[in-house]
């Protein structure tokens, strides 16, 4: 199977005509027409074998995750997904692997109504890079820079930290019974990007970021870009029953600094609490209020009684040596 056969067989679908796509796969560039008055939101995320995923992951789940992590960035900007490109380095053209990968990839693409419009394919160590293109009405993109002192801090989803629990099981630092491991493994391998919530938060949230490297680290980006600090109520974080059953130190570490959660952390003034609940209801996505933005720089932690907790946490950093 040659390079072009591979593209045609696994990545080119139908006759290539899709809403909003003037030219898709097969020419030198894809050509898209943005909606009237729209701004483009563009983001890339790369997944490297051994770094972001294990060689044993089911190909369909890898296809899902490669697109999910990118859609999560669009969600954090409140963007409506439009299209994506896929740059792929493969050690060999393994048909079973390619079929599975494409199945997971397109299932999520179809769920969000977006088209694969181009990419690049080369032989090499397994490496996936997706670029997503989304749109917002001009001036409405949610940014990291808009948080203000007094704003509430929210996080989406029912649990933070399950994906990291799965990683720790793979690393052998903790053990879980079979069905619990399967559940946290799903959280790690099949994250659900909060696209509908992000869109519903346009005009409501003052800032947003998606949690890829851990809640504290990613909230830290909001604080830095907005020039503010925050207090987090550690026990208000949403936790699964599986994480709840872990020792307190593990529970806090996984929730606050776990990573790979792909939930949205966002801020909004207390006057918008009802609007936030409406956005959550409209997008069928649970949200929890977990803290408050303050004028003084830094991130502080309190328990449910408001007692200060002296926690030291680090978020995931690819270039930091332990
Ligand atoms: P070029 O040489 O002009 O960069 P290629 O010959 O690499 O283009 O690719 C041919 C066509 O197939 C282009 O339209 C490109 O966007 C598309 N393409 C290549 N690889 C992929 C892929 N993995 N997924 C989707 N489209 C792809
Ligand atoms: Mg070309």
Q: Whose CA is nearest to atom 2 of ligand 1?
A: 28
Query: Where does the chain show beta strands of DSSP type E?
Result: 21-23, 31-32, 38-48, 80-90, 115-123, 127-137, 152-156, 207-210, 229-233, 264-268, 287-294, 298-302, 308-309
- Quick check: helix, strand or coil at residue 100? helix
Question: Is the pTM value of this prediction over 0.75?
Answer: yes
Query: What pLDDT digit, counting tens, does each position of 158-210 carry?
Result: 999 999 999 999 999 999 999 999 999 999 999 999 999 999 999 999 999 99
pLDDT at 311: 80
Residue 313 has pLDDT above 70, yes or no: no
Q: Is the CB of 63 under 6 A from ligand 1?
A: no
- Which protein residue's CA is at the shortest distance from atom 1 of ligand 1? 28
Q: Give the chain's domains with CATH numbers.
A: 3-137 (3.30.1330.10), 152-302 (3.90.650.10)
- Number of H helices and number of E strands within the chain? 10, 13
Q: Ligand 1 within 6 A of 25 CB? A: yes
Pairing assessment for the beta strands 229-233 and 298-302 based on DSSP bridges:
parallel
Is the CB–ligand 1 distance for residue 86 below 6 Å? yes
* Alpha-carbon gap, residue 35 to 99, rounded angstroms: 33
What number does the ligand 1 atom closest to the CA of 25 have? 14
Q: Is residue 289's pLDDT more than 70?
A: yes
Task: Pick the atom of ligand 1 nearest to 27's CA.
Answer: 14
Whole-number percent of the chain with pLDDT over 90 = 88
Q: What pLDDT does residue 20 have?
A: 80
Whether the predicted pLDDT of 15 surpasses 80: no
**Residue 17 CA to ligand 1 centre (angstroms):** 16
DSSP letters spanning 126-159: -EEEEEEEEEEETT----TT---TT-EEEEESS-
User: Would you call 322 helix, strand, or coil by DSSP?
Assistant: coil
117 lines ligand 1 (CB under 6 A): no
CB neighbour list of residue 127: distance below 8 Å, 6 or more residues apart: 46, 47, 48, 49, 88, 89
How far is residue 42's CA from residue 127's CA, in Å, rounded to a whole number? 20
Find the 130 Cα to ligand 1 centroid distance in Å. Answer: 13
Cα 28 to middle of ligand 2, angstroms: 4
């Amino acid at each position: 199977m040659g390079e072009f056969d591979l593209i045609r067989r696994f990545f080119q679908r139908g006759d290539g005509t899709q809403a909003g796509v003037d030219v898709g796969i097969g020419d030198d560039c894809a050509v898209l027409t943005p909606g009237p008055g729209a701004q483009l939101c563009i983001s890339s995320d790369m997944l490297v074998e051994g770094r972001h995923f294990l060689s044993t992951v089911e190909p369909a789940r890898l296809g899902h995750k490669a697109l999910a992590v990118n859609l999560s960035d669009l969600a954090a900007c409140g963007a409506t997904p439009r299209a994506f490109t896929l740059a792929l380095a493969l050690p060999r053209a393994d048909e079973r692997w390619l079929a599975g990968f494409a199945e997971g990839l397109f299932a999520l693409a179809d769920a969000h109504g977006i088209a694969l419009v181009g990419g690049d394919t080369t032989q090499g160590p397994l490496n996936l890079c997706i670029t997503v293109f989304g749109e917002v009405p001009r001036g409405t993109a949610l940014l990291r820079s808009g948080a203000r002192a007094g704003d509430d801090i929210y996080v989406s989803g029912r649990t933070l930290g399950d994906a990291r629990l799965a990683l720790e099981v793979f690393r052998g630092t903790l053990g879980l019974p079979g069905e619990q491991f399967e559940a946290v493994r799903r959280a790690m391998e099949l994250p659900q990007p909060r696209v509908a919530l992000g869109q519903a938060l346009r005009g409501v949230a003052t800032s947003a970021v998606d949690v890829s490297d851990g809640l504290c680290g990613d909230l830290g980006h909001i604080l830095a870009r907005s020039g503010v600090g925050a207090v987090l109520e550690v026990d208000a974080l949403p936790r699964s029953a599986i994480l709840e059953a872990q020792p307190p130190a593990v529970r806090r570490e996984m929730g606050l600094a776990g990573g790979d959660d792909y939930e949205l952390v966002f801020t909004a003034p207390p006057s918008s609490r009802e609007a936030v609940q409406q956005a959550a209801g409209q997008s069928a996505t649970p949200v929890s209020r977990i803290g408050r933005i303050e004028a003084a720089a830094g991130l502080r932690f309190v328990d449910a009684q408001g007692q200060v907790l002296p926690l030291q946490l680090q978020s995931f950093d690819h270039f930091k040596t332990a």
